[in-house]
Amino acid sequence: MEKDMTREVHKAEWKVKEQKLQEDIKTLREKLLLLGRERSSPDHRRHSMLDPSMLDSEMSRLRQRLLGTEDALRGAMEHNQQVDQLVLAMRRHPEKSPVHGVNSANGIHHQESGSTRDEQH
C-alpha cells in the first residue's frame, strides 16, 4: 500500500514537471514568433531598439533553449511511460518485483529531478 502511494506521488511529481515543460515550450515559441515578426516588419529598422545582430543572437538563444526544453519534455514523458510499465508489471507479478528494500530504482531520478529544476531557473 505504501509503495503504491510512493509511486503515485512520484508519478504526480513527473506530471507536474511535464506540464511546466509544456508551458515553457509554449512561452518560448511565442517569444520566437514575436521576435520573428518584429524582425520581418518593415518598420523594424526605424523603431527597433535592438540591433539586427542582437535580435538574431536572441532568436538563436531562444531556439537552443526551446530545443533543450523539448528534449527534457520527451525525457520526462519517456520516464513516466517506463514507470507506468514497471508499476503494471509489478502489479501483475508482485512475487517477481525487482524492487526490494529501501533502495528503489527511482532514487536516481529524484536526484536528477532536483538538479534539472535548478538548471531551468
Indicate if the pLDDT at residue 67 is higher than 90. Answer: yes
Question: Cell numbers at residue 71, please?
Answer: 528534449
Question: Cell numbers at residue 68, please?
Answer: 533543450
Q: How confident is the model at residue 113 (pLDDT cuts 50, 70, 90)?
A: very low
For 76-93, what is each residue's pLDDT tens digit?
A: 889 888 888 888 888 888
The residue-averaged pLDDT of 15-35 equals 91
Which sequence spans correspond to the domains of the chain? Answer: 11-88
What pLDDT is stored for residue 69 in this prediction?
A: 93
Residues 6+ apart with CB under 8 A from 56: 39
CA–CA separation, 101 vs 87, rounded Å? 16
Indicate if the pLDDT at residue 71 is higher than 90. Answer: yes
Indicate if the pLDDT at residue 120 is higher than 60. Answer: no
Between residues 4 and 32, which one has the greater pLDDT?
32
Question: Cell numbers at residue 58, please?
Answer: 536572441
